[in-house]
Amino acid sequence: MSLPELENSTVSILLIEDSRACALAIISMFRNSSVVAATAHTLADGLLKLAAHEFDAILLDLTLSDSRGLDTLVAVRNCVPQIPIVVLTALDETEEAIELGAQEYLLKEEVTPTILLRAICRARARMKSRTAESERLKLYEEREDFMATLTHDLKNPIIGSNRILDLMVQQKLGNLSEQQSEILAAIKCSNDVLLEMISNFLDVYRNEKDMHDLRLEVIDMRVVIAKHLKSIQPLIEVKGINLSVDLEREEVPIRGDQTSMMRVLDNLVGNAVKFVGEGGSISIRLEKHDRKEALLQVSDTGPGIPKEEQRHVFKRFWRSNTTRTSSSGTGLGLYLCQQIVEAHRGSISCEAEESKGTTFTVRLPLAA
């Protein structure tokens, strides 16, 4: 008896089974196959053999004289996490066995030579697949760690150069011509865009790695919005954008992280400013909805988003085809907004009409 998966190589199996009669019956099923089987009749004996020899797979009875139930599986899995395990059981613990690390299970009364060999093949294949996936995730995390370190190291010199540019534009380091001031201001603007991209990348990285601890406190969203608008007012005026702000008269308290909420506004309002042309309009509205949630809407009269693209707006690295060539960005801003809002137990949605504008709606639970 042989299977294609086992024909070209010898497979070493350890059978841990306390019943000698059952062990002999199972061993006999490997005749005329490429399987070489060793046996152990107790958990202790099995662990000793696993420590002394290398095996390609394990056949494990869960009811042994010195160990019973799923504890037996846990002990073997902890000893050799890299070896596939086929559980042999008459107990109704099959689902739990898979959750605890077994690759396959067989009911003893259903075991035949073919079923047994196929179970070993499937267990080995699943272990290989899991190992390959683990390696892929490890490489992905290493790449993400490298990119985060790189972007973090890039951020500080850009901030330093911006401070120098500020001093030069303000002519605190000497007089400049109007043309020189305009050039330096353009360089600083370019640096600001780059800093925003780096900040978005780092924030996404921290959120996905659970490294970004939210400092939750009761904050008034009106105050957060007012602070943000104060920081972008000069840019609004330079671009000649009509800004409409409609805030709730009463306090709009949420339990949130103020820095993270500022990041959401940076991205939503920043996108609107980026895509609205001179003379265009941006509207910001904040209200209490049903006295249960804060409802924040940021609308603009920009190019909008095609209907077929709207389902992608919060995806990582997504950028609209209609604005890809005319604007810079990483496609992380809206993805980050969704991560932050959902971390605050809220939701964010988008409504847009091509050539007519876009509205983003954020809903956050009000603080008690």
Instruction: Please report, for residues 87, 288, 333, the alpha-carbon distance to residue 350 in angstroms, rounded to integers and kept in the order given.
Output: 50, 19, 14
Whether residue 41 is predicted with pLDDT greater than 50 in this model: the reply is: yes
pLDDT attached to residue 228: 92
Q: What is the pLDDT of residues 227-245, one digit of tens each?
A: 999 888 888 888 899 999 9
Residue type, 215: R
Q: Which of 249, 310, 245 is nearest to 282 (CA)?
A: 245
**Degrees to nearest 5, angle at CA 182 with 180 and 183:** 65
Alpha-carbon span 203 to 110, nearest angstrom: 53
pTM: 0.52
State mean pLDDT over 256-270.
91
pLDDT, mean of residues 108-133: 74
Per-residue pLDDT at 218: 96
Question: What 8-state DSSP symbol labels residue 280?
Answer: -
Q: Is 226 helix (H, G, I), strand (E, B) or coil?
A: helix
Mean pLDDT across the chain: 83
Q: Which residue has the tokens 């099959």?
A: 94
Q: Residue 84 and residue 332: Cα distance in Å, rounded?
A: 40
E-strand spans in 185-341? 217-220, 242-247, 253-256, 281-289, 293-300
Count of CB atoms situated within 10 Å of the CB of 150: 12
Query: Predicted confidence band at 1 (pLDDT cuts at 50, 70, 90)?
Result: very low
* Dihedral in degrees, nearest 10, Cα atoms 115, 121, 125, 127: 90
